[in-house]
Amino acid sequence: MGSSSHSQLIAENEHAQLFRHEGHSPFTLFTFNEMGMRANGRQYWGQSLVEKNNLDAFALVSRAPNWFPISTTVELLTNLNSSKEIITYGHSMGAYAALKFSRLLGASHAIAFCPQASISPTDFGGKDKRYSSYFSQSLHGDMLLRSNDLAGRAHVIFDPMNSPDRMHAAAIADLGNVSLYPCRFTGHETIKILRSSADFLSLIEALRTNRENIAQSLLNNARKRSGIYLQHLATRLSHRRHHALALRMISRIEGDEQYSVGVLTTSADIHLRMGDFAASEVCAHELIERYPSRLNGYVVLGDALMGQMRWHEAAAAYLKATTAAPNLGTGYACRALALDAAGDLDGVCAMVDAALSRDPELRTISWERRKQVWALKKRAEAARVYPVS
């Protein structure tokens, strides 16, 4: 599409930064970042795609996981000039914004990967609290997506096997003029199936020319080539005790750096389910060596050590998990289970307290572990070691 110009930061406020890239595409792409990206004055969501292909684009980047508060976002988006067709695009938090502000921007299409209709803890009967800790009544009081927020055609791409994402997709579809594109075995990572610019540009072209069957076919083909698909499929196979097949599946993406965290974590989980705790421990140590600041490795290591009845070592591994992610309840809840196995009831109570203060419903741990932690709490209460509320 010709040589690319530089992207420029053109506006900012206390919640976000707005970038402009003047390109030669027949449409203007408007991107919104996901929660893991932070505004730094230089980078924005989709930058490589935009600059490599010289797309005409705007990009809004949040300063924090703030789900683009309406008042300050409108302040930045009002009176933007583009004579071209506008297409909004985002994943998760960014997908919410791509939908929420599509009418304001006059978009013909909104492409939303795994969007939320709201993160308010009171919407949807409190059934999805994954992001409720980021909700602020003063910023998000009326954030729920409504039909008058949408313009043109909305395209929601999601994994129907992911219960919260399926719930949000159904709610958004009820708003009207929305197409759903199921991509099974991709979890909340559906965006990752599009690995190349060519894939994404083909998807845009199919959607903007109203060839939705072609778009679904493109997504299906990209999904089957994706390591994310193989990773999630391997996990499902392992849960059904097809461990050998799961390991063969995951071996197909070993060595691909893009999936290294998922490969090691999934491999460790498969070995745990097989009862091969030593092999799981090896995966955990490699994960920690390569990604020492991540939560995953320490939790996986703790799990492997628990399987070998090395309770105190497991508790130490989970303690490191609390350091890696101090604001999540995961490490504290797991450490409570290890300390219980080691017979340290006082330590159990402190860890349960810490876990519940960060995640009152223990949403960040598995259902099986959640039941174990609730049982610990009740047992401690019965012994009057834990304060009765």
CA distance 36 to 33: 8
Determine the pLDDT at residue 383: 65
Determine the pLDDT at residue 125: 84
Task: Quickly count: other Cβ atoms within 10 Å of residue 354's Cβ.
Answer: 18
Q: Which residues contact 372 (CB under 8 A, 6 or more apart)?
A: 337
Query: For the purposes of burial, counting CB atoms within 10 Å of the CB of 148, is it exposed (0-12), middle (13-18) or buried (19 or more)?
Result: exposed
Q: Is the dihedral of CA 53, 31, 117, 328 positive or negative?
A: positive
Determine the pLDDT at residue 157: 99
Determine the pLDDT at residue 130: 84
Written as six digits, the tokens of 316 are 């130490």
**pTM across the whole model:** 0.84
Determine the pLDDT at residue 75: 95
Written as six digits, the tokens of 49 are 């795609």
- Mind listing the pLDDT tens digit of every residue in the chain (389 residues)? 444 568 999 999 999 999 999 999 999 999 999 999 999 999 999 999 999 999 999 999 999 999 999 999 999 999 888 889 999 999 999 999 999 999 999 999 999 999 999 999 889 887 888 888 889 998 998 899 999 999 999 999 999 999 999 999 999 999 999 999 999 999 999 999 998 999 999 999 999 999 999 999 999 999 999 999 999 999 999 989 999 999 998 888 877 777 788 888 999 999 999 999 999 999 999 999 999 988 889 999 999 999 999 999 999 999 999 999 888 889 999 999 999 999 888 888 889 889 988 888 787 788 888 899 889 888 777 765 555 44
33 contacts 44 by C-beta, under 8 angstroms: yes
Strands 8-12 and 109-113: unpaired
Per-residue three-class SS string for 267-282: HHHHHHHHCCHHHHHH
- Write down the domain spans for the chain: 8-225
Q: Which CATH number fits domain 8-225: 3.40.1010.10, 3.40.50.1820, 3.40.50.300, 3.40.980.10?
A: 3.40.50.1820
Determine the pLDDT at residue 70: 95
